[in-house]
Amino acid sequence: MKEKVRGQPVVFLICCITVAASLWFMIFVRRPFNFWLMMASSTLLLSGLAFWFDGDILHREELTVKNFIIGILSALLLYLIFLVGQWLLINLAKLSPGVFSGSSGFISAVYVNKKALPLWIVGVLLFFPIGFGEEVFWRGLIQKQLGLRIKKSYALLLATFFYTLVHVPTQNPVLILAAAVCGLFWGGIYWKTGSMVPVLISHMIWDPMIFVLLPLM
């Protein structure tokens, strides 16, 4: 049964988060080779790590129409949230240029890697393995394992903190804020539903939508 899964040692979680942070540093800061190929290989590695140490992440009985609908609608809702957020940043920059003048540049920087590969390949990689792998690791492994030790609401906040923290080396305030919003959003869905399916569907739809199909810039 799902609830009887034995938690991994704390040192294991620390090691996993350290691995993720190291990978994100290489992807966003060092960039030794193609950004999207690094993202794809890194998320494959992280999801493989998650399944290796916890084979209880996904369950066939969770593949319900309700969970798929929640996933699809939540992806659309998150896109709307980011659309509103972009509008706010642009208008705040007009009202207070000294404080928010760099907002558009930071948003554009998020999309700077779009041309590193043909767009259709980027869209496919964002759907799988990137969107899939991020959720399996951060919600399916980290948040779940934390939730076996502390209150699930605290696990949500702590997992979101770590998810946001690994984006800090990018030095892009918009990307860091986006990571915090996404972490809370998807972590909240996982907390409320107790299922990985809605967050997987949501992330796997939202990524190609905001980066390829309906980009904000």
Q: What is the CA radius of gyration of the chain?
A: 17
H helix runs in 60-172, sequence order: 65-95, 97-100, 103-110, 119-125, 132-135, 144-147, 152-165
| Structural domain count, the chain | 1
What pLDDT score does 95 carry?
78
Domain span including residue 87: 2-213
What pLDDT score does 115 carry?
86
Burial label, 78 (beta-carbon count in 10 A; 0-12, 13-18, 19+): buried
Listed as ranges, residues in the chain with pLDDT below 50 are 1-5
Please state the φ and ψ torsions of residue 111, each to the nearest 5 degrees.
Answer: -95, 5
What pLDDT score does 136 carry?
98
User: What's the pLDDT tens digit per position in 55-110?
Assistant: 889 999 999 999 999 999 999 999 999 999 999 988 887 777 765 566 677 778 88
What pLDDT score does 1 carry?
35
What pLDDT score does 184 carry?
98
**What are the Cα distances from residue 29, in Å, to 25, 163, 194?**
5, 17, 34
